[in-house]
Structure 1
Amino acid sequence: MVLADDETMIRAGVRAILATDPEIDVVAEAGNGSEAVDLTLKHRPDVVLMDIRMPVMDGLAATAEIKRTVPGTAVLVLTTFSEDEYVARALGDGAAGFLLKSGDPRELLAGVHAASRGAAYLSADVARRVIGELNRGPAGRRMARAATSRARIDALTGREREVLAFLGQGLSNAEIAARMHVVEGTVKSYVSAVFTGLGVRNRVQAAIIAYEAGLTDGDR
C-alpha cells in the first residue's frame, strides 16, 4: 500500500501500526497528493491511505485523480473531527472508506483489509459523523434525507435490500456470499443492481443510504 500524509511523525506512527500486521506491506510514502498519485501509478497498490490536508495537491484531488487513472486501487481517507465538511466530496470522488486519525489502531488495520478486499469501510463513529455532516441543517432536512433514502430502497427487491444492508456493514462480496449462501458472482450481480437502483457509484455511497434508511444496526 501507499501511505500519504504531509506530517512525518504521523506517517511514522501510522506505519508502525501497519507494521504489526504481516499481511500489510507499505511500498512507498508520499508527503503530498501529487506524490501519492505518482507513487500509485508506479506501484499500483491495492490501497492508498490518504490524508486530506496536504500541500501541492490535497487528498481530495489526489483521490479523484487516482480513481480516474488507477480505478483498481482503493483509497482510504484519513480524517479528523475538524474535517467533516470534506467527507461528502470524498464520497463523490470514490473513496473506499474513512478512518479517524484519533481512532483505534485496530480500525486502521480493519479498514485496510476491508479496502483491499474491495469492501467499503465505515466505522460506527465515522459513519455517524458522515451522516451528521450530510444531514447538517434543520431537523426537517434530516428527516427529509431519511425519507428520501427509504423511498430509494423501495425500488430494490428484497434480496437487493439484504445486500444493501450488508454493504452498510462494510462486508466484501465474498463475505456477503457466505452470509447469503450464494456464489460470489451472484453477489456481484446484486451489488450492480443495487448501485443502479439507488443511482450511486460506489459502495460507500450505498452504505450511507443503508445507514440513513435504517438498514444497519446503530442508533436508529
Structure 2
Amino acid sequence: MVKTSGYRKIANDIMNKIQRGTFRPGEKLPKQTELADFYETSRVTVQKALNVLTLEGYIASKKGVGTFVKNQADENSLYESDATEPIGLSQKANGRQAVTSKVVSFHVRTPEDEECEKLAIRPVDNVYDIIRVRYLDNQPFRIEYTVIPVGALPELNTAVLENSLYQYVEKATGQAVGSAIRKIKADMSDRYDQKYLDCQLFDPVLEIEQVVTFADGRPFELSEIRYRYDKGCFIAIHSV
C-alpha cells in the first residue's frame, strides 16, 4: 500500500469507495486501527478523516458498535460544517441537493485598511467586492459578502460566481484551497437577511467571518457569511 498523507486524502478515498459501492449502505467500516494500518498513518489522522465524512453525511457512528455507511445522505448534514475546513457549498452538497447562486453585487474597488491587513495586500491593490445569495433546492440558504484581491483572480466574473468559486480558484490558479480562520458569532437580521433569506425583523442569524488561504498559507478571500438561525451549524473538532 502506497503511503497516503493527509486526512482529507483518506476521507476522499473512503468517500470514493462509498460512491463506487465498495462500502455499501448500512455496511460497517473497518475499525480505526485497521484503517490506520491500511493507510499507513496514525489513528488520529483516520479519526479526522472520519469526522469529515460524518460532517458530509456519508457515515454515522453508533457508540460501542462502530461506524456505518449511511443509507442515504442526510440533507441536514449540509447545515453542519467543520469550523476550520474550507469546504465549499457545492463540494459539500456533492449533487445531493441543487446548489444555485444569485450575484447581488459585483464590482471592483480599493481595499479598506482592515482588508489590506487580513489579505496581506497594499492599499493600491484593487479588490473584488461581491455579494452572493446561495440556494439549496431553490430555498435561500445563506448570503455571502466576499472580498478577493483582483491580483489573485484577474479573470473572475459573474458567470464564475454563479457556480463553485473554490473549484474555479483551484483550476485557475493551480493552487489548492488550504484552510480557513473563522470567527463565529450571533447577530440580529438586517435588511439584506430579511430580503434574501426570508428572515423576520427580530430573527437571529449565524454570522461567520473568515479568511481563507491557499495551501501555502497565502490569504485570498475575506468573507462574511450569514445564515438563518435554523440553517447553520459549525462543529469544532479537537484532537486530545
TM-score (norm 2): 0.30
Larger radius of gyration: 2
TM-score (norm 1): 0.32
Structure with greater helix share of residues: 1
Structure with greater strand share of residues: 2
